[in-house]
């Protein structure tokens, strides 16, 4: 495999949310996240407590360091020679700082980003492109010219989908060992993702299937892959609602839904954090702490599936996605493998459209995707 190439890119960069690693960092981190987002102070105090309960340390950076190691190994194994960096939106190491450092040291100009979000929405896709736009402008002010491209949202890429399927199968096996036999009458699978405001959901489905439908499509695919004896009724539910109580967000909340299910005679749930690629604070607190406590109170058996983390299929899928995007940028027409037909792929190129997932205000993004990718699904 000598001609495995990420040309024309000079560097790959893993781009993530970021999180605090010590108690003094919690408040400034939360201020970074919520600046201009209209989050009430009470909510910030509450979320701050989640972090303080874990010693002021978010698990996300450690997870990303592990992912970087795994990606580097996979790049090496496949003889793809390119520097791999890491930069965050909300905390150190910051995207702009890391790109600046690398550009100054090496003269690199073209960056290909892999983000830690699989689905389409403002928070999980477009906001990253706005971040790239911000970095491009900040560095341009200092005479450093850089550009960004990004791999497609990968919820339906076989690498991520297969990794999720393995997580679901393992959790179902563990649950089965606890309960003896899976019973569709009393057991449920709850796929959980991050709630978003309904306005953000609406914006996400203008050019792609949208945040919610992308989850639903992946769930449908996963269930089609499960052997008959592992099939249970399932639902998509949400965690980590924020914002003002008067603003509608996607529902039901995982805890509320468990209460209803318990009242209907359900006595066990398998909880799958489908919306998170690794064990972020939402998984450690909202699921492993809060939802697990709700289950205990309701006397529901509770098994939480793993996140894809650094599983081989996820990691090699990310490298495939980078190679795919590089080939597209070189003007080639690589195969675009997907387990479902919706999502960004339906627009043809896998690229986000210029106007997809718009936020409340129009901010410049990078890259500015070609207009022909904006066909409505």
Pick out the residues of the known binding site for Fe(2+). 194, 282
Count of residues that interact with ligand HT9, criterion CB under 6 A:
26
- Cβ at position 302, least distance to ligand HT9 in Å: 21
How far lies 294's CA from each of 251, 256, 259, 282, in Å?
A: 17, 9, 8, 15
Q: In what order do the strands lie in the sheet with 110-115?
A: 84-88, 11-16, 110-115, 147-150
The rounded distance, in Å, linking the Cα atoms of 293 and 302 is 10
Q: Establish if 212 lies at the interface with ligand HT9 (CB under 6 A).
A: no
The rounded distance, in Å, linking the Cα atoms of 160 and 315 is 8
The rounded distance, in Å, linking the Cα atoms of 282 and 273 is 9
Q: Establish if 124 lies at the interface with ligand HT9 (CB under 6 A).
A: yes
Q: Which residues are annotated as a binding site for Fe-coproporphyrin III?
A: 58, 128
Tell me which stretch binds ligand HT9 (CB under 6 A): 28-36, 80-88, 310-318, 330-338.
28-36
Candidate list 47, 192, 254, 347; residue touching ligand HT9; CB under 6 A? 47
- Give the position of tokens 């597209």: 328
Q: Which residues are annotated as a binding site?
A: 58, 128, 194, 282
Q: Check: CB of residue 171 under 8 Å from CB of residue 305.
A: yes
Q: Establish if 17 lies at the interface with ligand HT9 (CB under 6 A).
A: yes
Q: Establish if 12 lies at the interface with ligand HT9 (CB under 6 A).
A: no
Strand 268-272 and strand 234-239: the pairing is unpaired
How many residues are given for the chain? 377
Q: Establish if 43 lies at the interface with ligand HT9 (CB under 6 A).
A: yes
Burial (Cβ within 10 Å: 0-12, 13-18, ≥19) of residue 62: middle
Q: Establish if 117 lies at the interface with ligand HT9 (CB under 6 A).
A: yes
The rounded distance, in Å, linking the Cα atoms of 302 and 106 is 50
Q: How far apart are the first and last CA of the chain?
A: 37
Tell me which stretch binds ligand HT9 (CB under 6 A): 165-173, 280-288, 326-334, 364-372.
280-288
- A 10 A CB-CB count for 185 gives 9
Token readout for 111 is 């960056």
Candidate list 281, 305, 315, 351; residue touching ligand HT9; CB under 6 A? 281
Candidate list 96, 116, 310, 353; residue touching ligand HT9; CB under 6 A? 116
Q: Establish if 58 lies at the interface with ligand HT9 (CB under 6 A).
A: yes
- Cβ at position 180, least distance to ligand HT9 in Å: 35
Tell me which stretch binds ligand HT9 (CB under 6 A): 35-43, 142-150, 178-186, 340-348.
35-43
Tell me which stretch binds ligand HT9 (CB under 6 A): 58-66, 76-84, 93-101, 344-352.
58-66
In the shown chain, the binding pattern of residues 136 to 175 toward ligand HT9, with x for contact by CB under 6 A and - for none, equals ----------------------------------------
Considering beta carbons, is residue 96 or 117 the nearer one to ligand HT9?
A: 117
Q: Establish if 357 lies at the interface with ligand HT9 (CB under 6 A).
A: no
Candidate list 6, 11, 34, 130; residue touching ligand HT9; CB under 6 A? 34
Q: Establish if 120 lies at the interface with ligand HT9 (CB under 6 A).
A: no
Candidate list 100, 150, 188, 194; residue touching ligand HT9; CB under 6 A? 194
Considering beta carbons, is residue 27 or 327 the nearer one to ligand HT9?
A: 27
In the shown chain, the binding pattern of residues 224 to 243 toward ligand HT9, with x for contact by CB under 6 A and - for none, equals ----------------x-xx
Using CB under 6 A as the criterion, which residues of the chain lie in contact with ligand HT9 when the complex forms? 17, 19, 30, 33-34, 37, 39, 43, 47, 58-60, 116-117, 121, 123-124, 194, 196, 240, 242-243, 275, 280-282
């Amino acid at each position: 495999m000598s001609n495995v190439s990420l040309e024309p890119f000079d560097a790959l960069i893993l781009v993530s949310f970021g999180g605090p690693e010590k108690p003094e960092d919690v408040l400034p981190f939360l201020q970074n996240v919520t600046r201009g987002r209209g989050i009430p102070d009470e909510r910030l105090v509450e979320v701050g407590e989640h972090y303080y309960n874990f010693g002021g340390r978010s698990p996300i950076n450690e997870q990303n360091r592990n992912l970087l190691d795994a990606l580097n190994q996979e790049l090496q194994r496949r003889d793809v020679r390119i520097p791999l960096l890491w930069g965050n939106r909300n905390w150190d190491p910051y995207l702009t700082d890391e790109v600046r450092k690398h550009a100054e040291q090496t003269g690199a100009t073209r960056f290909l980003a892999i983000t830690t979000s699989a689905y389409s929405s403002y928070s999980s896709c477009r906001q990253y492109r706005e971040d790239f736009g911000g970095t491009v402008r900040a560095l341009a002010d200092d005479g450093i010219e850089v550009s960004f491209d990004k791999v497609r949202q990968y919820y339906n890429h076989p690498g991520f989908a297969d990794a999720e399927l393995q997580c679901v199968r393992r959790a179902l096996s563990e649950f089965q060992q606890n309960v003896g036999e899976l019973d569709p009458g009393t057991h449920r699978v709850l796929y959980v993702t991050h709630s978003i405001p309904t306005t953000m959901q609406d914006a996400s489905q203008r050019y792609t299937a949208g945040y919610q439908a992308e989850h639903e499509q992946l769930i449908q695919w996963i269930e089609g892959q499960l052997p008959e004896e592992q099939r249970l009724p399932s639902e998509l539910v949400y965690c980590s609602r924020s914002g003002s109580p008067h603003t509608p967000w996607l529902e039901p909340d995982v805890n509320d839904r468990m209460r209803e299910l318990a009242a209907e005679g359900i006595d066990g749930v398998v909880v799958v954090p489908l919306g998170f690629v690794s064990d972020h604070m939402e998984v450690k607190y909202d699921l492993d702490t809060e939802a697990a406590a709700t289950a205990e109170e309701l006397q529901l058996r509770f098994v939480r599936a793993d996140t894809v983390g650094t599983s081989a299929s996820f990691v090699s899928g990310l490298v495939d996605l980078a190679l795919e995007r590089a080939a597209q940028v070189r003007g080639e027409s690589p195969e675009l493998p997907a387990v479902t037909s919706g999502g960004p792929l339906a627009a043809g190129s896998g690229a986000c459209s210029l106007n997809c997932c718009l936020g409340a205000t129009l901010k410049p993004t990078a890259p500015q995707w070609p207009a022909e990718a904006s066909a409505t699904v």
